[in-house]
Amino acid sequence: MPLNAYVIDDEASIRAAIEQFLGLCGWQVRTLERAEACLAELPADYPGVIVSDVRMPGLGGLGLLAEVQARDPALPVILLTGHGDVPMAVQAMQGGAYDFLEKPFDPEHLQRALQRAQQTRRLVLENRQLHQRAGQAGELQARLLGASAPLRALREQLLNMAGLPVNVVVRGETGAGKELVARCLHDFSPRAAGPFVALNCAAIPEALFEAELFGHESGAFTGAQGKRIGKLEFAHRGTLFLDEIESLPLAQQAKLLRVLQERRLERLGGNASIEVDLRIVAATKPDLLDEARAGRFREDLAYRLNVAELRLPPLRQRREDIPLLFEHFARLAAEGAGRPLPPLSPPQLAALLAHDWPGNVRELANAAQRHALGLGTPYAEAAEGGSLAAQAEAFEAQCLRAALARHKGDIRAVMHELQIPRRTLNEKMQRHGLAREAFLG
């Protein structure tokens, strides 16, 4: 973590001396004359230390300390006191000050105090990040359901990418959940408080694309009544999700590239240059570079968008997630209709596991809804010809899943109920893609 410090003192000579000395020691120093100015620009989770004089016009050092303590009690504040202010210094330490130095102070003493404070701050922020990441991982697991290895890897990659200030391409088959992943990238990013704007590039007529993306001024074209904010401008300080980006017309690709390069746009029919700060998450089924080589997509835009890439596994590559997903969607449908959830028989489960799911999670959700509403379980006819081994495997997986759910992941209780040793249970859970963590709570 870089060495960062705010230095607040109403005497310009002291500010300059501290800035020069700390700069030579490798510190990034921001000097200010007033404490109010520091509070106005102090970011959350500031990765550094505050050094402040106690006696200043306006808000003094003790007042600054109180304000900082109210915002972040773990942010170190070192106070500079004049001669005879020792009682005040004691009061400051009781109020949460990290340290105090009496003027005139030894610069080396200040450097050592700052180093100790910076180390403390680094440990605090690392601990916060660990707690935040643990909480995010649990929340993400509840939104991107699945205990399979591909899903666990996807969740880990998503959390790693969410906080990065880069554009992301999400690749996956139709129905694999690309918009859900894009929404998670937004919700777990520093832009979460900003807007999430979605646009399906395949659903917009080419003639309307420019107005849809960039907006327009009144009278820009026939029928343009009033000013309209485009998707790019509306996503300012947030995320713009461009689904089926490969369908974006080439003419608009050039204009989008310019916006990404300059971070500014002009509405259709307007002359004003408007600043935009946004992140683009683009979803596509084909490889954009393959599309570029075929002349259907700009190569420079492909590289600009594809700084990071997330690949969504198709449902057939994570079959162990099918029962969990099917039960989730079926329960939602049953609760929405005010009906009890009908059980899923072993032959029906075997049929679901044997199906290839070309429509992926979207197709599975549809099948679960039909089952919950009593409209029949699709692919059940395939179970009639299923092998005994396939049906036995499906039944075993269902028994393990039910026992783990009943006992909320308590392995000893599951061993006792099913009368199997720990090693056998572990092997069966691994074979069926069942993770204890998915049943905790």
> For residue 441, what pLDDT band results from cuts at 50, 70 and 90?
low
Report the alpha-carbon distance of residue 197 to residue 280 in Å, rounded.
10
- The residue whose two tokens read 């080589």 is 293
pLDDT at 345: 75
Q: What is the pLDDT of residue 271?
A: 81
How sure is the predictor about 382, in pLDDT bands with cuts at 50, 70 and 90?
Answer: very low
Mean pLDDT of all residues belonging to the chain: 87
pLDDT tens figures, 119-176: 999 888 887 776 666 666 678 888 888 888 889 899 999 999 998 999 999 999 999 9
pLDDT band at 21 (very low <50, low <70, confident <90, very high): very high
Domain with CATH 3.40.50.300 in the chain: 144-313
| 421: number of Cβ within 10 Å | 9
Output the pLDDT for position 390: 67
Q: Do 96 and 49 touch, CB atoms closer than 8 A?
A: no
> Please, which residues have CB within 8 angstroms of residue 420's CB and are 6 or more apart in sequence?
428
Model pTM greater than 0.85?
no
Residue 401 near residue 434, CB atoms below 8 Å = yes
Task: Report DSSP state, residue 382.
Answer: H
Mean per-residue pLDDT, 229-235? 92
Q: Distance between CA atoms of 371 and 40, rounded to whole angstroms?
A: 57
What are the helix (H) ranges across 32-85? 35-41, 61-71
pLDDT per position as a tens digit, 201-224? 999 888 888 888 988 776 556 555
CATH 3.40.50.2300 domain extents, the chain:
4-127
CATH architecture of 144-313: 3-Layer(aba) Sandwich (3.40)
pLDDT grade for 388, boundaries at 50, 70 and 90: low
Superfamily of domain 4-127: Response regulator (3.40.50.2300)
> Structure tokens of 60?
């003094």
DSSP state, 191?
Answer: T
pLDDT per residue as tens digits for the range 291-348: 999 999 999 999 999 999 999 999 988 888 888 899 899 999 999 999 998 887 777 8
What residue type is 255 in one-letter code?
Answer: K
Q: Helix 149-162 vs helix 178-187: angle between axes, to the nearest 10 degrees?
A: 40
